[in-house]
Chain A
Amino acid sequence: MNKIKGNEEVLLHPGSSYWGDVWLQFKKHKGALIGAILFFSIVIAVMIGPFLWPFEANGIDIRSRNQGPSFLHPFGTDQLGRDTFARMIAGGRTSITVGLAAMFLAIFLGTLVGIVAGYFKKLDGLLMRFTDLFLSLPLLPLLLLMMFLFREPLSVAYGPEKGMFILIVVSIGITSWMPTARIVRGDVLALKQREFVIAARSIGTSDQRIIVRHILPNILSPILVSATLGIANAIITESALSFLGLGFPPDFPTWGRLLNDAVDYLQLYPERVMWPGLAISLTVLSINFLGDGLRDALDPRIRGR
């Protein structure tokens, strides 16, 4: 295509591209913008925090135990004199890594099941019954069960921390793909009837290529939204498991674990519950706002209003 030189500015004004439009709409949602900024700051803080902060998460200093907030220890210290701020950073690192990894697994499974069910009619009934079945499972009890039963062998096989990480990520992943699968299936069913897919098939494009080139790019936005909300869900689930004492080993901090430890000292040091609790809530809240804004921004019916 030839572009006329004088018109270039008009054509390239921000918002002329798809993602430009999305960004324009996203910016309008103040809550989503604040949520995005907050979430990315938390992620950056927990990722680079351990390199900047002088205290170690497991560095015991028994002489300065049970201290309140001070200049040296902004969040105080725990019953073994470990710096709470350092533990919060380390805990956040684990919680957010678990959240991201579990989300990727859930999204991968959900997208796979959704596309296969939506695209191949023969498998649709079977896969959707399978999804319904998973939706009817009592997830929290089952997760607790999986934690309890498979903790030992995985710890032996991969070491206590890595084994637990694999176990938690896999169990959260395989119990939270169902909503994504349903959304993706619905969208694929609708897309399959669209002209461009029929045209692609009429010139002999293979199923695999149609899925990768034509269907996947068009279902990216619902996947993106459920991915965002999936992180929040995974973080909450991991924290709940750690809170019930069935998560990571005790010396390995996560936000849920820190909250669980703090509950034992609820009467004496009530402020200790606040840090991990606030961290979980703020992260989840910011992700939920981010997801809300993304949903609006990626929905062409709402965009531009």
Chain B
Amino acid sequence: MFDYTVRRLLIAVPTLVIISLVIFLVLSLAPNDPMAQVPMTVPPEVKEKMREALGLGQPLYVQFWKWLVQFFWIEPQVFIDHYFGTQFAEGKLRVISWQTRAPVMDTVVERLPQTLWVVGMSYVVAIAISIPIGIYSAYKQYSVFDQAGTFITMVGYSIPPFFTGPLVIVIFAVNLEWFPSTYDTLHKVVDWDSFVIQMRQMVLPVMVLAIQGTAQISRYMRSAILDNLNQDYVRTARAKGLSESIVILVHVLRNSMIPVVTVIALNLPLIFGGAIITEQVFKVNGIGQQLILAIYANDLPTIQTLTFIFAFLIVGMNLIADVLYAILDPRIRYE
């Protein structure tokens, strides 16, 4: 088990390096000029100097190596400095945004909590709703509830977040005026009232993201329960006189959760992808919005770093899913 985890970790590292290389190559192959915004009156030799100052004159592999060092060596040092008051990263060059002239990671750290709050909450909500739905519709297979549940999950799966977003704004913010249509990130939670306001402004974005998550997870939950319901151990449990609720909620559920937990881990990056759109709809200033802004501003270091953070999430979640699967299911042995 430990060997397996270590091996998976060792595979993840080159994967991440190759992904960052791919992102880097896409960015550098792009026929875009980061100096395009500089006024025409600036003489060409000055422009050339500016280009060099940005590190663009050097060969590609040097640029890539520098980014790798900055991101994997210097940024963690900054992180350690911040928390332990050490001075490892003193005077070292960090990944600097061309847009704000500030370190990219500082902006990411500022914006990440908003994204994590919205995405995390929506995922918790999605899991809390979808698991009971999945259990009940599998238990009552082909009943009205199951049919309706299948239809609703299909609808929830098919409606993209860029439609549900405006739709819930029209219904709940414009017509009913229950919730605000935008997310105010300057709002600080200090007492109960401001906490209520924070919760209210989170309802709509969380709802939009949760709809998608619920649709996917409940389908997996249903089929996992169905796979288990006809197994011998279920018959045994019933035969020895256990109550139906214990059979389903303890015996069947525990076995059905194995594939579902991995699906939950694997789907999390997808939700982050959806968060890019949802943040745009509700004007949440999270890292998804930062990515869009950086793309529009041609801010290559920010784009590179953020895209890599998304890749890191995907690879990390894949790793967690694989390891969890191995831990949860004793039948699986990796040699």
Contact = CB atoms under 8 A, between A and B. Distances in A.
A153 interface: yes
B167 interface: yes
Contact of A262 (B166, B174, B280, B307): B166
A273 interface: yes
B195 to A, nearest CB: 28
A100 to B, nearest CB: 18
A75 interface: no
B295 A145 contact: yes
A240 B23 contact: no
A273 B163 CA distance: 8
Looking at chain A's contact residues, the main secondary structure is helix
Given A149-B27, A273-B170, A285-B154, A256 B269 contact: no
A243 B15 contact: no
A132 interface: yes
B307 A142 contact: yes
A232 B158 CA distance: 8
A31 interface: yes
B6 interface: no
Contacts, number: 121
A198 interface: no
Given A273-B167, A281-B159, A140 B318 contact: no
Interface string B1-36: 000000000000001001100110011011110000
B144 to A, nearest CB: 15
B325 to A, nearest CB: 16
A153 B292 contact: no
Interface string B155-178: 101111011001101100011000
Given A240-B162, A270-B174, A273-B170, A142 B23 contact: yes
Contacts of A262: 166
Contacts of B210: none
Nearest to A232: B158
A138 B307 CA distance: 7
B132 interface: no
Given A266-B174, A277-B167, A138 B162 contact: no
Place the interface of chain B in its size category: 35 or more
A178 interface: no
A149 B163 contact: no
B160 A240 contact: yes
B258 to A, nearest CB: 21
Contact of A236 (B151, B160, B296): B160
Interface bracket on A: 35 or more
A270 B159 CA distance: 18
A266 B166 contact: yes
B277 interface: yes
A141 interface: yes
B160 A142 contact: no
Given A133-B15, A145-B295, A240-B162, 12 more contacts: A136-B315, A142-B23, A144-B291, A149-B32, A232-B158, A239-B160, A259-B166, A270-B174, A276-B163, A281-B158, A281-B160, A285-B159
Interface of B: 15, 18-19, 22-23, 26-27, 29-32, 151, 154-155, 157-160, 162-163, 166-167, 169-170, 174-175, 181, 269, 273, 276-277, 280-281, 291-292, 295-296, 303, 306-307, 310-311, 313-315, 318
What are the 9 closest A-B residue pairs judged by CB atoms, nearest first? A138-B310, A149-B30, A277-B163, A285-B158, A270-B170, A284-B158, A140-B273, A243-B162, A273-B166
30 contacts: A133-B19, A136-B314, A136-B315, A137-B19, A137-B314, A138-B269, A138-B311, A138-B314, A140-B273, A140-B276, A141-B276, A141-B291, A145-B303, A146-B26, A149-B31, A149-B32, A232-B158, A240-B160, A243-B277, A243-B280, A244-B276, A259-B162, A273-B166, A277-B159, A277-B167, A278-B163, A284-B158, A284-B159, A285-B154, A288-B157
